[in-house]
RNA sequence: GCCAACGUAGCUCAACGGCAGAGCUCCGGUUUUGUAAACCGGAGGUUGAGGGUUCGAAUCCCUCCGUUGGCUCCA
């Protein structure tokens, strides 16, 4: 006898071996119709799964996240069947879900092109319409390996799978695929789908392996959800910093220097404001600032270990028969500054910041707007301290980091901790204590984090701060890295209490990561609508007609004397056109002035994106704007 | 670096073997305007670069450069 507890705590009794589907039918025909899978004792299984004994049961529908996940994976199978039908020589590799859809890796010599998507979708539609059941077949591992003999990809998948029982699913017209499951009961249960893109992907992410074709698709409960998703992508593309950067004349790129950003006057205004703010916060946290050369002798890079570990990404130059490298990191220069005098434990922790311009020859395929460039300015700093100061220093860096992120309204980021890699230097003991110091600091600040085992730098463990761009791609901002290598390589020392020379600990950290990337992220974060304090132009003065131009000019001079960034639109256009132009430029404030305002020394304030306007005395406006700027207010309410 | 797609005026795009075009921007003029785009005119191009096929190439083929989306890598 099976005793089945439902989510509402009610209990159904049935004969052993009853299927989840039968129970769903017993609960209600409506539920049975929308049922996709079942959760038996926290394990998600097919609806056909048999129930024995005392269990808890939940029927999963497409409303559940798990139901949508299952639907997507079943959709991947349908896509695989369609592709195998169109290209019989296609070999299936691996087809997991991703955040908002799925992909399937396929080994096929003939390239699948975007132009083929339509016929793949057509074939998929036929399969879905036929509403054939997904049927699970189980067999022992040995039998599965025999069955898959000759298919190196699926054999590999079986070898990587856990457990002794291997399952296959068949659906459609004799299509069968190795799969753990579960699946929807039949292909007709799959909602609205679309093939999104195709891209190359290495088998197991290994560049020495064959490049496969990865076909991306998305699948939603219904057409409306699919359309909403496609709309969201379109919206996101409108936030793309590369598009907005051109629209707002912030920066550009040129074939003359791929991966090297040209910052325009508007972009530099934002840049300099971020630098100014950054300096204020670093002063508050007792940092000093230095600047080290961009081009340094090659020998230095041998000593630092960069030659050995980073040569492929470095630029080199040669003159007067001497080889030089263009710095990819600031630390060696920082070490040379440290060595210019003797240091005492009394001056520790020594926090030395540098806005260092570095060059890294990134692979051509990874260059991406301001997010991934070949020349960038790091907001770097090196903290020299004693081992027992590590944890408090890390806490200090985290506090400084949050203070800076908060000013820009960033709440949505995540933290990752990377631990000892296989190729590392230093003893296990020192790695363990350093990693624990990082963990303790995170625990102390009550920060959740993800652990990337073995992903640390060769010289020490690290904490990274990540943020997502408008298309949900994740980008690293700040980083905190413990470095046991550099102080030794450069023979850095300090004199301790006992008058002996010891090696300091070096903490390498960046908060914004790179100014280029950070400005790109700011643009996407605000969709180009910068808060008042960061806006390249804060207010545009718009005379109603030429008759008010003199008042407009006088007003401009007055606002500028109060350090407001503004200009006059003295064109022959009507006021509506001037407003439209200002909106296109995403200006926060528009000041419409005509004879009325001129007479009363006032301005009519119009706020970006709003219909209603407000007339106020010029002095009152200046005071109010100045306060918003000083407070770095994000809202524009006047 | 690898796979695929794409490079036409400053920007967004059309023409897809047969005279390179539109809107916006820019320049000149008319208009003197009260809250999201007035009107008229003009300028702007060896179609990313080089080679090939063809009577004829933006269009077809090859090489290179760049861009986009992924993979690997990474701030």
Nearest residue to nucleotide B49, by CA–C1' distance, is A255
Identify the active-site residue in A58, A213, A375, A378. Answer: A378
**Nucleotide with smallest C1' distance to residue A207 CA:** B72
Measure CA A415 to chain center: 11
Q: In this model, does residue A471 exceed pLDDT 90?
A: no
Set A105, A240, A380, A483: catalytic member: A380
A481 belongs to the catalytic site: no
Contact in structure between A323 and A297 (CB atoms under 8 Å):
yes
Q: Which of A87, A164, A79 is nearest to A123 (CA)?
A: A79
Q: For A361-379, how does the pLDDT look when each residue is reduced to its tens digit (9 = 90+)?
A: 999 999 999 999 999 999 9
Poorest-pLDDT segment among A5-14, A127-136, A321-330, A378-387: A5-14
* Cα A193 off chain centre by: 25
B42 C1' – A285 CA distance, angstroms? Answer: 60
Smallest CA–C1' separation from A478: which nucleotide?
Answer: B75
Catalytic status, residue A302: no
Distance separating alpha carbons of residues A373 and A128, to the nearest angstrom: 44
Please name the residue whose C-alpha is nearest to the C1' of nucleotide B36: A580
What's the pLDDT score for residue A412? 79
Number of Cβ atoms within 10 Å of the Cβ of A30: 10
A439 is catalytic: no
What local confidence, expressed as pLDDT, does residue A1 receive? 84
Q: Please provide the DSSP assignment of A129-162 as one string.
A: HHTPBPEEEEEEHHHHHHHTTT-HHHHHHHHHS-
All domains of chain A, ordered by start, with CATH? 2-61 (3.10.20.30), 66-236 (3.30.980.10), 259-294+327-525 (3.30.930.10), 532-630 (3.40.50.800)
Catalytic residue at A382?
yes
Active site residue A279: no
Using the structure, give the distance in angstroms from the CA atom of A260 to the C1' atom of B49, rounded to a whole number: 21
Task: A434-442: list long-range contacts, CB under 8 Å, 24+ apart.
Answer: A434/A390, A434/A460, A434/A461, A434/A482, A434/A484, A435/A461, A437/A390, A437/A391, A437/A394, A437/A482, A438/A394, A438/A462, A438/A463, A438/A480, A438/A482, A440/A391, A441/A391, A441/A394, A441/A395, A441/A398, A442/A398, A442/A415, A442/A417
CA A595 / C1′ B22 distance in Å: 40
Smallest CA–C1' separation from A98, nucleotide: B70
Q: A217 CA, B59 C1': separation in Å?
A: 32
Residues A39-81: pLDDT tens digits?
999 899 999 999 888 999 999 998 999 999 999 999 999 999 9
Mean pLDDT of A525-544: 96
What average pLDDT does range A200-218 have in this prediction?
92
Structure confidence by residue, pLDDT tens digits, A88-135:
999 999 999 998 999 999 999 888 988 889 899 999 999 999 999 999
Mean model confidence pLDDT for chain A: 93
Among candidate residues A382, A525, A540, A586, the one labeled active-site is A382
A477 nearest nt, CA–C1': B75
A546-CA/B43-C1' distance, Å: 27
Residues A384, A348 contacting (CB under 8 angstroms): yes
**A264 classed as catalytic:** no
- CA to C1' distance (Å), from A608 to B31: 28
* pLDDT higher than threshold 90 for residue A570: yes
Q: What is the ipTM of this complex?
A: 0.95
Q: Where are the beta strands (DSSP E) in A203-263?
A: 211-220, 251-252, 262-263
DSSP reduced 3-state for A534: helix
Structure confidence by residue, pLDDT tens digits, A480-515:
999 888 899 999 999 999 999 999 999 999 999 999
Q: Please, is A186 exposed, middle or buried when counting C-beta atoms within 10 Å of its C-beta (0-12, 13-18, 19+)?
A: middle
pTM of the model: 0.92
Q: Which of A147, A282, A462, A489 is catalytic?
A: A462
pLDDT at A377: 97
The verdict on whether A360 is a catalytic residue reads yes
* Structure confidence at residue A138 (pLDDT): 92
Question: For B30, which residue's CA is nearest its C1'?
Answer: A572
Chain B nucleotides near the protein (CB, 7 A): 1-5, 11-12, 25, 29-38, 65-75
Find the residue closest to B75 using CA and C1' atoms. Answer: A513
Closest residue to B32 by CA to C1' distance?
A545
In the DSSP assignment, the letter for residue A186 is B
Q: Would the pLDDT of A187 be above 90?
A: yes
CA distance A102 to A75: 8
**pLDDT level of residue A467 (50, 70, 90 thresholds):** confident
pLDDT recorded at residue A122: 93
Nucleotide lying nearest to A599, CA to C1' measure: B34
A197-206, A398-407, A408-417: the lowest-pLDDT one: A408-417
Catalytic option among A75, A331, A385, A470: A331
| pLDDT at residue A150, rounded to an integer | 87
Mean pLDDT of A161-178: 88
Nearest nt to the CA of A512 via C1' is B75
Q: Which residue lies nearest B7, CA-to-C1' measured?
A: A255
In Å, what is the separation between the CA of A305 and the C1' of B39? 69
Distance A368 CA to B63 C1' (A): 25
pLDDT level of residue A335 (50, 70, 90 thresholds)? very high
Res. A171: pLDDT tops 90: no
């Amino acid at each position: 006898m099976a005793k089945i507890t439902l989510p509402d705590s009610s209990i159904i009794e049935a004969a052993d071996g009853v299927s989840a589907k039968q129970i769903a039918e017993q609960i209600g025909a409506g539920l049975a119709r929308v049922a996709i899978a079942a959760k038996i004792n926290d394990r998600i299984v097919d609806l056909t799964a048999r129930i024995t004994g005392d269990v808890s049961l939940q029927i999963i529908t497409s409303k559940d996240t798990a139901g949508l996940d299952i639907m997507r994976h079943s959709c991947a199978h349908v896509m695989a069947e369609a592709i195998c039908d169109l290209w019989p020589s296609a070999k299936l590799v691996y087809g997991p879900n991703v955040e908002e859809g799925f992909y399937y890796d396929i080994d096929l010599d003939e390239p699948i092109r975007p132009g083929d998507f339509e016929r793949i979708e057509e074939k998929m539609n036929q399969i879905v319409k036929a509403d054939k059941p997904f049927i699970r077949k189980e067999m022992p591992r040995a039998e599965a390996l025999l069955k898959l003999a000759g298919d190196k990809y699926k054999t590999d998948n079986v070898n990587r799978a856990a457990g002794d029982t291997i399952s296959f699913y068949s659906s459609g017209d004799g299509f069968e695929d190795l799969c753990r499951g579960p699946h929807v009961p039949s292909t007709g249960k799959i909602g609205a789908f679309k093939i999104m893109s195709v891209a190359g992907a290495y088998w197991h992410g290994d560049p020495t392996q064959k490049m496969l074709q990865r076909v991306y698709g998305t699948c939603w409960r219904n057409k409306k959800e699919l359309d909403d998703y496609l709309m969201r992508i379109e919206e996101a593309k409108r936030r793309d910093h590369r598009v907005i950067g051109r629209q707002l004349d912030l920066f550009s790129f040129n074939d003359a220097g791929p991966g090297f950003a040209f910052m325009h006057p508007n972009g530099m205004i934002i840049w300099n404001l971020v630098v100014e703010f950054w300096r204020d916060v670093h002063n508050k946290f007792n940092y000093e600032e230095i600047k080290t050369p961009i081009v340094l002798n090659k020998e230095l890079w041998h000593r630092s270990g960069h030659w050995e570990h980073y040569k492929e990404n470095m630029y080199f130059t040669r003159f007067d028969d001497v080889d030089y490298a263009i710095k990819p990191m600031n630390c060696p220069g920082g070490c040379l500054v440290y060595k210019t005098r003797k240091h005492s434990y009394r001056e520790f922790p020594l926090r030395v910041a540098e806005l260092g311009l570095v060059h890294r020859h990134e692979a051509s395929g990874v260059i991406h707007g301001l997010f991934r460039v070949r020349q960038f300015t790091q907001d770097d700093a090196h903290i020299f301290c004693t081992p027992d100061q590590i944890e408090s220093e890390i806490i200090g860096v985290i506090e400084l980091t949050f203070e800076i992120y908060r000013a820009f309204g960033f709440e949505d980021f995540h933290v990752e901790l990377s631990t000892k890699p296989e190729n590392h230097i230093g003893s296990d003991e020192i790695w363990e204590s350093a990693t624990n110091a990082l963990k303790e600091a995170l625990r102390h600040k009550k920060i959740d984090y993800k652990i990337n085992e073995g992903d640390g730098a060769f010289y020490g463990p690290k904490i990274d701060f990540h943020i997502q761009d408008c298309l949900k791609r994740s980008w690293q901002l700040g980083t905190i890295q413990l470095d046991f290598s550099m102080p030794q390589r450069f023979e850095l020392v300090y004199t301790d209490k006992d008058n002996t020379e010891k090696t300091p600990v070096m903490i390498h950290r960046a908060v914004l990561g790179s100014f280029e990337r950070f400005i790109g992220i700011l643009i996407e974060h605000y969709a180009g609508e910068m808060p008042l304090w960061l806006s390249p132009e804060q207010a545009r003065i718009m005379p109603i007609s030429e008759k008010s131009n003199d008042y407009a000019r006088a007003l401009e001079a007055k606002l500028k004397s109060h350090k407001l960034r503004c200009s006059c639109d003295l064109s022959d256009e009507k006021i509506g056109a001037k407003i439209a132009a200002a909106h296109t430029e995403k200006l926060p404030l528009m000041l419409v002035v005509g004879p009325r305002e001129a007479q009363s020394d006032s301005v009519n304030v119009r706020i970006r994106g709003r219909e209603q306007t407000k007339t106020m005395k010029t002095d009152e406006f200046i005071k109010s704007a100045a306060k918003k700027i000083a407070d770095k207010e994000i809202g524009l309410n006047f």
